Chain A
Amino acid sequence: MHGEAISELMGFVFPNEQHVTWTVMIVLYPYITGLVAGAFIVSSLYHLFGQESLKPVARFALVSSFAFLLFATMPLLLHLGLPTRAFNIMITPSSSSAMAGFGIVYLTYMAIVVVEVWFSMREEIVGRALATTGVLGFLFKALALFDLRVDERTRALDHRVVRFLAGLGIPVACFLHGYVGFLFGSIKANPWWSTPMMFIIFLLSAIVSGIAVLILLFYVISWVRRVEVDAPCVQTMANFLWGFMIIDVALELMQILSIAYQQMAEWEALQILIEDKLFWSHVVIQLLIGSLVPFLLLGLNSLVKLRQRTRNVLIFSSSVLLLIQVLAMRWNVVIGGQLMSKSFRGYTSYMPGLWDHEGLIVAVVVFTVPFLLLRFFDFMVPLFPSDSAIGKGRPS
């Protein structure tokens, strides 16, 4: 149900706005979609833009993107008032709706990612198919589409297809996440959302969160496998992370600056929203802890000569903080936008319940499943190249 609890009100709120319609599930949806787009960009940096140091993480990034993509729609489904009609959005889309484009964008991107994952892992799948027998062996053969040839010619073809799809995937990934930003940015009824900058900010924060989650996973997996973390690989990711976060945060600040400076009628109400209702989640978590601190830490990492151990601490903690920053940003947009009444004279409040079907426990479960799925994928077929330290450390 949509925000059951009668909320604490401040000022005058229209009667139907006392219940927040879009819950923490709609916070999670752009968050997971962002990880999809961001992780895909990292894999493309290697496949397309020749960032050789990213080789150890390139395929893992692609498969992560796939795992998140499989669950990106889960929060939406949990949110719908009539979930049995979910497919109507793909079967009978309304051409004037920004949301109706969802089916097309999502399925196109899914097709690209599935095919790219298959081509980038074909050699490993064939390897497993030849090495295993019985039902599992048959499944691997089926997964390889019963074509078990691997030679220089097939490798070259696989490589060419992956490169092509990596190129095609970038605009589609941008579109996927730009579209999520556009969903909010095009709502003229809500001055906290209605800005053409919204889709660019969503896109950049998606890239930031995608790189950050890959760094985090790379560290955790290296530690679990007791191997030295691949220093050039994380350093490259950390440099990109720093660059993208600077642009992202600069745009976020410029958006607020421009609405503040324009001093339109709604600014008075928005100011209270930022300074009071969103003080902790926006000012403290998103801007100070989530943006300023990692900006300084990553800057230190990129500009100063440091020992690798120190670098690891800086990069790891910055990634954690930036993941929190992007989550806070999603919360502040989705929930923040609904806290302010369209009467511009009052504010409601929202806190998800623990056990509601759109509550915190469900949110944590939905967010955890893609990570478990990744572990399962790695169990089936090695996700890291066997000539890298992290790939060699793989438990058999």
Chain B
Amino acid sequence: MSDDGRDPRPEGLGRRDFIKLGFVGAFAILVPFAVRAAERAPYRREDYTWGFIVDLQKCMGCGACVRACKAENTVPDGFNRTWVERYTVRRDGKVEVDSPLGALNGFPEDVPHPPIEVGKSFFVPKLCNQCSTAPCVQVCPVGASYAAPDGVTLVDRKRCIGCGYCVQACPYGVRYIHPQNGYADKCTLCYHRITKGLQTACAQACPVGARSAGNLKDTTSRIRQLLNSSRYGVLKPALGTNPKCYYIGLDKEVV
């Protein structure tokens, strides 16, 4: 410090400030990475119970979810891990359902009725219902179908013998025997994605946000908030499978 109290160093960015700024800058750049890293903190299965929610009032039957699932999970031709059904309820009460190729290409053709005859029409995406008491897990003779501690029903491909009993036991028709590899296959709720903090491929691809997976144990999660604020249903509740796949705005015609 000089006699007149002025800093003798030239004006502008001094060395000390430069270093300070450097630290602050580096910190600012690293923060998002650090947050991502924190988000990717080791996945603890016991903190999660996975569920799935479908808002039927939003689904528009584009089939983007089906295509995303096929691509993400290399689903064999002729089979579906997820598909979309179109329900057409005519004015006389007659119900028709179709799902061309599981809606892989959406619904290229209109409902086969003049609009005047159609009462209402809506789309219903289907996927593994992630039953809490899953019949597929119960019947598997070798324990290859199992419920992970975080509530997701999975198939151990290295154990499955391909007997097809789980295919018969699933009330929702979501399982199939892989035509080339011989094991039972089905929707895994994109387990490889959700355990890394990502959404399922189908949810990611949905342009209207009609479907998403979420943690039922987390009271602040979107799925919990939706379940707390809407009226919803599950498929075939009388069978006691207790699905964790919930449908907002479910119509009685849907099975």
**A and B: partners?**
yes
Produce 1/0 per residue, A180-206, CB < 8 A to B: 000100111110000000000000000
- Min CB gap B154→A, angstroms: 14
- Min CB gap A129→B, angstroms: 41
B141 beta carbon closer than 8 Å to chain A? yes
Produce 1/0 per residue, A67-96, CB < 8 A to B: 000000000100111110110110011101
Chain B residues closer than 8 Å to A98, beta-carbon distance: 139
Question: B255, A343: Cβ atoms under 8 Å?
Answer: yes
A99 beta carbon closer than 8 Å to chain B? yes
Produce 1/0 per residue, B74-115, CB < 8 A to A: 000011100101000000000111110110000000000000
Question: B177, A97: Cβ atoms under 8 Å?
Answer: no
Chain A residues closer than 8 Å to B172, beta-carbon distance: 14, 342
Chain B residues closer than 8 Å to A22, beta-carbon distance: 164, 168
Chain B residues closer than 8 Å to A100, beta-carbon distance: 141-142
A123 beta carbon closer than 8 Å to chain B? no
B198 beta carbon closer than 8 Å to chain A? no
B135 beta carbon closer than 8 Å to chain A? yes
Question: B182, A14: Cβ atoms under 8 Å?
Answer: no
Total interface residues on A, CB under 8 Å, equals: 45
Chain B residues closer than 8 Å to A344, beta-carbon distance: 255
Question: B142, A94: Cβ atoms under 8 Å?
Answer: yes
**Given A14-B173, A82-B183, A189-B239, does the pair A97, B140 have CB atoms closer than 8 Å?**
yes
- Chain B residue at smallest Cβ distance from A334: B168
Question: A81, B141: Cβ atoms under 8 Å?
Answer: no
- Chain B residue at smallest Cβ distance from A93: B141
Question: B173, A16: Cβ atoms under 8 Å?
Answer: yes
Chain A residues closer than 8 Å to B139, beta-carbon distance: 96-99, 186-187
Chain A residues closer than 8 Å to B255, beta-carbon distance: 342-345
What interface size band does chain B fall in?
A: 35 or more
**Given A16-B174, A88-B159, A188-B135, does the pair A99, B164 have CB atoms closer than 8 Å?**
no
A19 beta carbon closer than 8 Å to chain B? yes
Question: A341, B173: Cβ atoms under 8 Å?
Answer: yes
Chain B residues 167 to 197 lying within 8 A of chain A, measured CB to CB, are 167-179, 181-184
Chain A residues closer than 8 Å to B165, beta-carbon distance: 97, 99, 183
Produce 1/0 per residue, B51-71, CB < 8 A to A: 000000000000000000000
Out of A18, A85, A183, A345, which one reaches B78, CB within 8 Å? A18
Chain A residues closer than 8 Å to B137, beta-carbon distance: 96
**Given A12-B99, A88-B142, A89-B161, does the pair A21, B177 have CB atoms closer than 8 Å?**
yes
A18 to B80, CA, bound (A): 11
A247 beta carbon closer than 8 Å to chain B? no
Chain B residues closer than 8 Å to A342, beta-carbon distance: 170-173, 255
Q: How many pairs of A and B residues are in contact by the CB < 8 Å rule?
A: 139
Question: B98, A12: Cβ atoms under 8 Å?
Answer: yes
- Min CB gap A253→B, angstroms: 25
A80 to B178, CA, bound (A): 12
Question: B164, A88: Cβ atoms under 8 Å?
Answer: no
A372 beta carbon closer than 8 Å to chain B? no
Chain A residues closer than 8 Å to B176, beta-carbon distance: 16, 19, 21
Question: A97, B138: Cβ atoms under 8 Å?
Answer: yes
A51 to B175, CA, bound (A): 50
B205 beta carbon closer than 8 Å to chain A? no
Out of B83, B97, B99, B164, which one reaches A2, CB within 8 Å? B164
- Chain B residue at smallest Cβ distance from A101: B141
Q: Report which residue of A94, A187, A345 has the largest number of chain B beta carbons within 10 angstroms of its beta carbon.
A: A94
A79 to B163, CA, bound (A): 7
A395 beta carbon closer than 8 Å to chain B? no
Question: B80, A16: Cβ atoms under 8 Å?
Answer: yes
A175 beta carbon closer than 8 Å to chain B? no
B248 beta carbon closer than 8 Å to chain A? no
Question: A345, B173: Cβ atoms under 8 Å?
Answer: no
Majority-rule SS of A interface residues: loop
A16 to B141, CA, bound (A): 21
Out of B80, B97, B178, which one reaches A81, CB within 8 Å? B178
Out of B79, B159, B161, which one reaches A16, CB within 8 Å? B79
Question: B161, A80: Cβ atoms under 8 Å?
Answer: yes
**Given A81-B177, A188-B239, A189-B170, does the pair A92, B143 have CB atoms closer than 8 Å?**
yes
B160 beta carbon closer than 8 Å to chain A? yes
- Chain B residue at smallest Cβ distance from A189: B171
A19 to B76, CA, bound (A): 13
B233 beta carbon closer than 8 Å to chain A? no
Out of A12, A83, A86, A94, which one reaches B143, CB within 8 Å? A94
**Given A94-B143, A102-B141, does the pair A343, B173 have CB atoms closer than 8 Å?**
yes
Question: B78, A19: Cβ atoms under 8 Å?
Answer: yes
Question: A15, B99: Cβ atoms under 8 Å?
Answer: yes
A80 to B83, CA, bound (A): 27
Question: B141, A94: Cβ atoms under 8 Å?
Answer: yes
- Min CB gap B69→A, angstroms: 12
Question: A81, B138: Cβ atoms under 8 Å?
Answer: no
**Given A16-B79, A342-B172, A344-B255, does the pair A80, B163 have CB atoms closer than 8 Å?**
yes
Chain B residues 106 to 159 lying within 8 A of chain A, measured CB to CB, are 126, 135, 137-143, 159
- Min CB gap A101→B, angstroms: 9
Spell out A's residues near B (CB within 8 Å). 1-2, 4, 6, 12, 14-19, 21-22, 76, 79-83, 85-86, 88-89, 92-94, 96-100, 102, 183, 186-190, 337-338, 341-345
18 pairs, CB–CB < 8 Å, chain A vs chain B: A12-B96, A16-B79, A19-B78, A22-B168, A80-B162, A81-B182, A82-B162, A82-B183, A85-B159, A85-B161, A88-B142, A92-B142, A97-B142, A99-B139, A100-B142, A186-B139, A189-B239, A190-B168
| Given A15-B78, A21-B176, 19 additional A-B pairs, CB 8 A | A1-B179, A2-B164, A14-B126, A15-B99, A19-B79, A21-B164, A79-B163, A80-B162, A81-B161, A81-B181, A81-B184, A82-B182, A99-B165, A187-B135, A187-B139, A188-B240, A189-B171, A338-B168, A342-B171
Considering the complex of A and B, which 3 residue pairs feature the smallest CB-CB distances, nearest first?
A: A81-B162, A81-B182, A14-B173
